[in-house]
Structure 1
Amino acid sequence: MRILIDECLPTRCRTWFPGHTVETVEFRGWKGVLNGALLARAVEAGFEVLLTADRQMVRQHDFSNLPLAVVVTPGNRLSILNSLRGTIVAAVECATPGDTIEVLGPRIADETLDGSETAS
């Protein structure tokens, strides 16, 4: 499976998926690319799953006709993500094209709606 990790997530999440091809948005040189263009590039590059914390992406785009699944984490704090690692990995591994899967977990008060953290 080819997995793309969005720039809003810690790059160390890429190590969670042994046996899969995992790249980050930053590694691909796509940092700062807007969601619609990012999705188009991910599809064109043959990614099967996009892992992101950007909940707005899910509200703004219809994934049902894309050959790509999107898995949304409940934020981007590594401490929270680590506690949900098994759930996130399972969601990614069971995702099929067109799926949108939101992993449930605690919402952190100092996170913005797109999943990025605010400076505190």
Structure 2
Amino acid sequence: MRVLLDECLPRKLKYRLNGHEVTTVQERGWSSKKNGELLRLMNESVDVFLTSDQNLRYQQDLSNIRYRIIVLVAHDNRLLTLQPFMPQVQQAIPLMLPGSVIEIGMRED
């Protein structure tokens, strides 16, 4: 699957997703894009968008997306914090349907 890492995530996280073609927003030259424009660009070239933006589903209309969105939920975005969630991400990717959004991680309520 073609996975895109959001710019809010550590770039080295891409090496924790074996068996997928993983690129970053920065590598694609999309760093300056606003969320709405970024989401439209991804429709043709991405299967999975990995982000930590927990407000994405509330701020954007996701009804027309063709890719899957995985939101990592953690107390920070450091590699050491997010790395333990990668096995769950690996398991979730093939099970998700296009247009679906899931959260993986820990919620601090």
By the TM > 0.5 criterion, same fold?
A: yes
Change (3 A) 1:106 1:77: farther
Change (3 A) 1:20 1:83: closer
In the TM superposition, residue 59 of structure 1 has moved relative to its aligned partner by 1.3
Question: Partners in 1 of 2:72 and 2:104 — Cα distance?
Answer: 5
CA contact (8 A) 1:84 1:105 kept: no
**Are 2:4 and 1:4 equivalent residues in the alignment?**
yes
Greater shift in the superposed pair: 17-26 or 58-67: 58-67
Question: Partners in 2 of 1:90 and 1:32 — Cα distance?
Answer: 31
CA contact (8 A) 1:4 1:47 kept: yes
Task: Compute the TM-score of the two structures, normalised by the length of structure 2.
Answer: 0.86
Identity of matched residues, %: 37
Change (3 A) 1:86 1:14: same
- Unmatched tracts of structure 2, length 5 or more: none
Superposed CA deviations along residues 6-57 of structure 1, whole A, max 9, x for unmatched, are 000011111122221111000001113111100111113x201100001111
Q: Where is the strand percentage greater, Structure 1 or Structure 2?
A: 2
- Off by >3 Å, runs of 4+ in structure 1: none
- Unmatched tracts of structure 1, length 5 or more: 108-120
User: Counterparts of 1:1-120 in structure 2 under 5 Å?
Assistant: 1-44=1-44, 46-75=45-74, 76-105=77-106, 107=108
Greater shift in the superposed pair: 49-58 or 61-70: 61-70
Task: Compute the TM-score of the two structures, normalised by the length of structure 1.
Answer: 0.79
Greater shift in the superposed pair: 15-24 or 49-58: 15-24
In the TM superposition, residue 106 of structure 1 has moved relative to its aligned partner by 5.1
CA contact (8 A) 1:91 1:103 kept: no
Tell me the secondary structure at the aligned position of residue 103 of structure 1.
Answer: strand
Superposed CA deviations along residues 34-90 of structure 1, whole A, max 9, x for unmatched, are 11100111113x201100001111212233432111100014121221122211222
Letter of the 1:74 partner, please give it.
Answer: V
In the alignment of these two chains, the number of paired residues is 106
Change (3 A) 1:43 1:59: same
* Cross-structure match for 1:116: none
